[in-house]
Amino acid sequence: MIKIALIGEIGSGKTFISRCFKYPTFNADDEVAKIYKTNIQCFKKLKKKFPNEILNFPIKKRQIRKIISKKNIKKLSRIVHPFVRLSLKKFLKKYQFKKYVILDIPLLIENKLYNREDILIYVKTKKSLIIERLKKRKNYNKKIINILKKLQDKPLKKIKLSHFTIYNNADKKNILKQIEQIKKKINDRSSFRY
């Protein structure tokens, strides 16, 4: 199995790009949402650490936003990330016989969740388009976005680690063309460095 990891800034369109590949995809944001809704162990740990914010199960997004806005993101991450890692492990086991899987994990680089053999694709998007997309999100909160951005490595570091770049500034047809070119190069493994 070859793991293809999409990396880039918040709002660059990694999730959209991951769907365009049409391979089994692990979306960390979706997994976190699922954990908040279904994982009682995570709830108990968060309730113990943040009794004034975590009020009931399933955990509501507004309760998590309160924790993040109080700059407790690292404490929150230390509790939630082990559950996400466990979900990732189950996903990889489930799809171990697939040729490719996609990893859409916002803090993949920062949490060292990749291997040397993984293929890293940087999703590059114009700043103005990122801002426009973020503002369209339900419950957009600039303060929380800025806190989350501070957790991420600088784009230059991610670009240097990447094997490929997808430019997500155009229409879907153009993006699908870029993806097909990358798939072809991945299948011809001699065309890129490890």
Residue linked to tokens 């998007």: 125
Query: What gap in Å lies between CA 161 and CA 9, rounded to an integer?
Result: 14
Range of weakest confidence among 32-41, 139-148, 151-160: 139-148
| 58 upstream amide cis, omega within 30 of 0 | yes
pLDDT at 102: 98
pLDDT band (50, 70, 90) for residue 138: confident
Per the prediction, the chain carries an average pLDDT of: 90
Q: Which of 92, 76, 85, 94 is nearest to 113 (CA)?
A: 85
Model pLDDT, residue 194:
46
What is the structure's pLDDT at 191? 52
Query: Three-state SS string across 95-137, please?
Result: CCCCCEEEEECCCCCCCCCCCCCCEEEEEECCHHHHHHHHHHC
Measured between its terminal Cα atoms, the distance across the chain in Å is 16
pLDDT above 90: residue 154: no
What DSSP line would sit under the chain, residue for residue?
-EEEEEEE-TTS-HHHHHHHHTS-EEEHHHHHHHHHHH-HHHHHHHHHH-TTT--SSSPPHHHHHHHHHTT-HHHHHHHHHHHHHHHHHHHHHHTTTSSEEEEE-TTTTTTT---TTSEEEEEE--HHHHHHHHHHSTT--HHHHHHHHHHSPPHHHHHHH-SEEEETTS-HHHHHHHHHHHHHHHHSGGGS--
Output the CA angle 124-130-134, nearest 5 degrees: 140
**Token pair 């990358």 is at which residue?**
182
pLDDT at 112: 84
The pLDDT score that the predictor gives to residue 49 is 95
Q: Which pLDDT band holds residue 192 (cuts at 50, 70, 90)?
A: low
pLDDT digits (tens, 9 = 90+) for 83-98: 999 999 999 999 999 9
125-129, 155-159, 176-180: which is most confident: 176-180
pTM confidence score: 0.88
Please state, for a pLDDT cut of 90, what percent of the chain lies above it: 63
Q: What is the per-residue pLDDT across 49-96, written as a single tens digit (0 to 9) for each?
A: 999 999 999 999 889 988 987 778 889 999 999 999 999 999 999 999
**pLDDT score for 147:** 77
